Amino acid sequence: MRRTDERHVNVTVRVFASYADALGADRATVTVPDPATVGSVRAAIAALSPKLPPRPIIAVNEEYATDDVAISPGDEVAVIPPVAGG
Amino acid sequence: MSRSGIVAAPIDVAAITDEVRDPHTGAVSTFLGTVRDSSDSRTVTGLEYSTYTGMAEREMQAIVREAIAIAPGVRIVAVHRVGNLAVGEVCVMIAAAHGHRGPAFDACRYAIEEIKKRVPIWKREHYSDGSSEWVNACAPDAHAPRPKDAHA
């Protein structure tokens, strides 16, 4: 996470499986208002590709996270496609 | 001792079944998920599982704790394999041992259902015509309630 100007930060997120194929990369960086939240990152990720759903699932530090969760420097943020274990 | 894991090597069904047994065991419930040769009438030649390893291991550990909370006294091992699997291979195994069959069945069923709902593992099916597709099965719910005593 890196500040871009007085009011925004860049957040880098890990991307997996079908979403990584859609974005052509296993990481993506989005710019969101400071302080970053799961809600703002979720919306910014969705806007990266029409192949992503409007509200992709987000995990912070390896736990599923709701929109109100704040994202701090050093947090690991990931976008989780629908799971298909088993 | 209960445990869980994400593994790359083939799952040793007999070894894991033995692992959960002890002299107090009266019932062992096992579940095996295996690679099927078809999907929506298409011929499947193999599966490729990928994962978010750290998070998948955490979710598997949480599920094992929750299963023990639901069925106190159960000894449970839950493993999921990742990488490329051929038709017929075991992709996931749960073994749950208890003095009696009820809690063994309950823990086993709980674990496999939750694994399918929550653990960040993805599967790409490879078909006989050379094409492949990611299978979209289940959207995890960040708001889903968890058993309250699971973190004890």
- Interchain CB distance below 8 Å, A84 and B134: yes
**CA–CA separation, B84 vs B7, rounded Å?**
12
Share of chain B above pLDDT 90, in %: 87
- Dump pLDDT digits (tens) for A48-68: 999 999 999 999 999 999 999
Residue B12 CB partners (closer than 8 Å, separation 6+): none
- Whole domain around residue A47: which residue ranges? 2-80
Number of residues that this document lists for chain B: 152
What residue in A sits closest to B120 (Cα-Cα)?
Answer: A83
**CA–CA separation, B80 vs B24, rounded Å?**
27
Neighbours of B15 (CB within 10 A): 10
Q: Tell me which amino acid residue B58 is.
A: R
Reported CATH class of domain B3-128: alpha beta
- Contact (Cβ atoms closer than 8 angstroms) between residue B48 and residue B42: no
- Dump pLDDT digits (tens) for B28-77: 999 999 999 999 899 999 999 999 999 999 999 999 999 999 999 999 99
Q: Look at residue A41 and tell me if it is in a domain.
A: yes
Q: Which residues of B touch A14 (CB under 8 A)?
A: 52
- The domain spans of chain B are 3-128
Q: Tell me which amino acid residue A85 is.
A: G
Domain count, chain A: 1
Q: Residue A76's domain is classified under what CATH number?
A: 3.10.20.30
Average pLDDT over residues B99-109: 98
CA dihedral angle for residue A29, residue A42, residue B141, residue A73, rounded to 10 degrees: 60
| Residue B118: both structure tokens together | 């929550």
Cross-sheet strand order for the sheet of B75-81: B3-7, B75-81, B90-98, B27-34
Q: Look at residue A85 and tell me if it is in a domain.
A: no
Name the burial class of residue B1, with classes exposed (0-12), middle (13-18) and buried (19+) by CB atoms within 10 angstroms of its CB: exposed
Q: A27 and chain B: CB distance < 8 Å anywhere?
A: no
- Dump pLDDT digits (tens) for A1-29: 777 777 999 999 999 999 999 999 999 99
Q: Look at residue A65 and tell me if it is in a domain.
A: yes
Average pLDDT over residues B115-131: 97
Q: Look at residue A22 and tell me if it is in a domain.
A: yes
Q: Look at residue A58 and tell me if it is in a domain.
A: yes
- B147 has a pLDDT exceeding 60: no
pTM of the model: 0.91
Q: Look at residue A86 and tell me if it is in a domain.
A: no
